[in-house]
């Protein structure tokens, strides 16, 4: 191996190490900032966590004992250090309502939200991306107007109104879908005794257990909330895809490809769409993160036992350990999806390597 080859390899290794170190430092700083924000939110809200535990009739001695046990008698900097240490070890404290570890409850509720958001995102991508591409290739046409109107309606109409109207029409009047909850009441009782929970996702678990009757019932319940969330995701993705594609179709390399006689479908669906994929990855990732974090109203309307409902119920019950634990999980999801976007950038666009 020549000296030039060795130096080139060393320079690439040094560059990769610098990049990796930068990503790790950025991740650590973002996570530390997230923990700092959630820590001070827990300290500034007008809720006394000690009173939430001992009740208003507790004696001063009981109050002081619980305050010391929770570490609230320590200086703020020391409380923050304990909070960060516990969070890094997956310890978000104990729920005031249930007396169970918060991390165990989040582990139980989060898969339902993950399942709902994943199905909605898949629907949004499958429908939204082709709709945006077709609309961009026919600006001003009827299909372009339809895509824009449908997208505008998805932006404008409140999700809770869509959920209520969907329940009224498709469940109450037409009877096409199941009602609120993951299963009918009869199947819900059977699930506790006959269904082994492998993943916490109702569709996967019923399929893995071979309970196809229960799977069909669960599908009838999830199709409406996933469809409504998917509609809002589709509206955003189609709108952004149309904008990206219209900008890309005006580039010189597209004109060159057409002049050379390349088929129009190849110009649009291969060359133009390939370059659109880089910003589109960010759009899909942000949409997915929003559905994982912002499906509170949908989960409440459909009685879906997900993380959004869990955080909402904890907030109404002044259960701050549960609220802060759920908030940290949502923040970590955002951070993780941003990192995934960066990785996909490098796979899709060689210039980012």
Confidence grade of residue 122 (pLDDT, cut at 50, 70, 90): very high
CATH code of the domain containing 305: 1.10.3720.10
pLDDT tens-digit map of 202-251: 888 888 888 888 899 889 999 999 999 999 889 889 989 998 888 888 88
pTM attached to this predicted model: 0.81
Q: How far is the C-alpha of 235 from the C-alpha of 300, rounded, in Å?
A: 22
pLDDT for residue 21 is more than 90: no
Distances (CA, A) of 47 to 41, 54, 122, 318: 11, 13, 40, 7
Q: Is 146 contained in some domain?
A: yes
Q: What is the pLDDT of residue 18?
A: 65
pLDDT tens-digit map of 195-214: 778 888 888 888 888 888 88
pLDDT for residue 277 is more than 80: yes
pLDDT for residue 194 is more than 60: yes
Q: List residues bridging with 94 in a β-sheet.
A: 101
Q: Is 51 contained in some domain?
A: no
Q: Is 135 contained in some domain?
A: yes
- What is the total count of domains within the chain? 1
Q: What is the pLDDT of residue 119?
A: 92
Q: Is 39 contained in some domain?
A: no
Q: Is 213 contained in some domain?
A: yes
Q: How far is the C-alpha of 163 from the C-alpha of 179, rounded, in Å?
A: 11
pLDDT tens-digit map of 297-315: 788 888 888 888 888 888 7
Whole-number average pLDDT of the chain = 80
Q: Is 282 contained in some domain?
A: yes
pLDDT tens-digit map of 53-100: 666 777 777 777 777 776 677 777 777 887 788 888 778 878 877 888
Query: By C-alpha distance, which of 344, 306, 273 is closest to 130?
Result: 273
Domain span including residue 288: 102-352
Q: What is the pLDDT of residue 5?
A: 53
Residues ≥6 apart with Cβ < 8 Å to 167: 179, 180, 224, 301, 302
Residues ≥6 apart with Cβ < 8 Å to 40: none
Q: Is 204 contained in some domain?
A: yes
DSSP state of 58: -
Residues 29-43 have a mean pLDDT of 77
Residues ≥6 apart with Cβ < 8 Å to 237: 124, 125, 128, 129, 132, 280, 283, 284, 287
pLDDT for residue 103 is more than 80: yes
Break the chain down into helix, strand, coil percent, rounded to 5.
80, 0, 20
Q: Which two tokens stand for residue 29?
A: 């700083």
Q: Is 290 contained in some domain?
A: yes
């Amino acid at each position: 191996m020549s000296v030039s080859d060795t130096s080139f390899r060393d320079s690439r290794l040094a560059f990769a190490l610098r990049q990796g170190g930068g990503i790790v430092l950025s991740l650590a700083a973002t996570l530390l900032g997230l923990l700092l924000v959630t820590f001070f939110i827990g300290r500034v809200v007008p809720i006394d966590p000690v009173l939430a535990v001992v009740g208003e009739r507790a004696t001063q001695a009981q109050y002081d004992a619980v305050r010391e046990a929770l570490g609230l008698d320590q200086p703020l900097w020391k409380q923050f250090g304990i909070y960060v240490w516990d969070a890094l070890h997956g310890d978000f404290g104990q729920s005031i309502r249930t007396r169970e570890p918060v991390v165990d409850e989040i582990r139980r509720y989060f898969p339902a939200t993950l399942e709902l958001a994943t199905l909605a995102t898949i629907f949004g991508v499958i429908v939204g991306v082709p709709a945006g591409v077709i609309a961009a290739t026919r600006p001003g046409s009827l299909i372009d107007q339809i895509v824009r109107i449908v997208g505008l309606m998805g932006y404008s109409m409140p999700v809770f109104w869509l959920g209520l109207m969907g329940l009224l029409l498709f469940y109450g009047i037409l009877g096409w879908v199941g009602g609120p909850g993951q299963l009918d009441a009869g199947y819900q009782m059977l699930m506790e005794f006959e269904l082994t929970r492998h993943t916490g996702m109702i569709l996967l678990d019923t399929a893995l257990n071979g309970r196809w009757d229960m799977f069909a019932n669960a599908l009838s319940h999830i199709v409406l909330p996933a469809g409504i969330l998917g509609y809002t995701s589709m509206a955003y993705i189609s709108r952004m895809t149309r904008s990206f594609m219209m900008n890309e179709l005006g580039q010189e390399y597209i004109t060159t490809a057409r002049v050379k006689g390349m088929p129009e479908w190849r110009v649009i669906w291969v060359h133009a769409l390939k370059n659109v994929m880089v910003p589109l990855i960010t759009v899909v990732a942000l949409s997915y993160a929003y559905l994982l974090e912002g499906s509170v109203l949908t989960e409440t309307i459909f009685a879906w036992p997900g993380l959004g409902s869990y955080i909402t119920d904890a907030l109404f019950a002044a259960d701050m350990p549960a609220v802060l634990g759920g908030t940290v999980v949502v923040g970590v999801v955002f951070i993780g999806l941003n990192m995934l976007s960066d990785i996909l950038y490098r796979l899709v666009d060689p210039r980012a390597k």
